[in-house]
Chains A and B, each alone.
Chain A
Amino acid sequence: GNSVTQMEGPVTLSEEAFLTINCTYTATGYPSLFWYVQYPGEGLQLLLKATKADDKGSNKGFEATYRKETTSFHLEKGSVQVSDSAVYFCALSTQGGSEKLVFGKGTKLTVNP
Chain B
Amino acid sequence: EAGVTQSPTHLIKTRGQQVTLRCSPISGHTSVYWYQQALGLGLQFLLWYDEGEERNRGNFPPRFSGRQFPNYSSELNVNALELEDSALYLCASSLGVNQPQHFGDGTRLSIL
A interface residue numbers (CB < 8 A to B): 32, 34, 36, 41-46, 49, 51, 89, 91, 93, 95, 97-106
Contact = CB atoms under 8 A, between A and B. Distances in A.
A99 B105 contact: no
Contacts of B6: 43
B100 A49 contact: yes
A40 to B, nearest CB: 11
A104 B92 CA distance: 17
Given A44-B103, A46-B100, A93-B101, 20 more contacts: A32-B98, A43-B6, A44-B92, A45-B103, A46-B102, A49-B100, A93-B98, A98-B56, A99-B31, A99-B48, A99-B55, A99-B98, A100-B48, A100-B58, A101-B33, A101-B45, A101-B92, A102-B45, A103-B43, A106-B43
A103 B90 contact: no
5 contacts: A32-B98, A43-B4, A93-B98, A97-B56, A103-B42
B33 A34 contact: no
Interface residues of B, number: 24
Contacts of B101: 46, 93, 101
Contacts of A93: 98, 101
B65 to A, nearest CB: 17
Interface string B1-38: 00010100000000000000000000000010101000
B6 to A, nearest CB: 8
Interface string B95-112: 001101111111000000
B56 A43 contact: no
Listed from nearest, the 10 A-B pairs whose CB atoms lie closest are A100-B45, A103-B43, A43-B103, A44-B103, A43-B105, A105-B42, A43-B106, A43-B104, A99-B48, A42-B105
Contacts of A34: 100
Contacts of A45: 103
A89 to B, nearest CB: 7
Nearest to B108: A41
B42 A95 contact: no
Nearest to A45: B103
Nearest to A103: B43
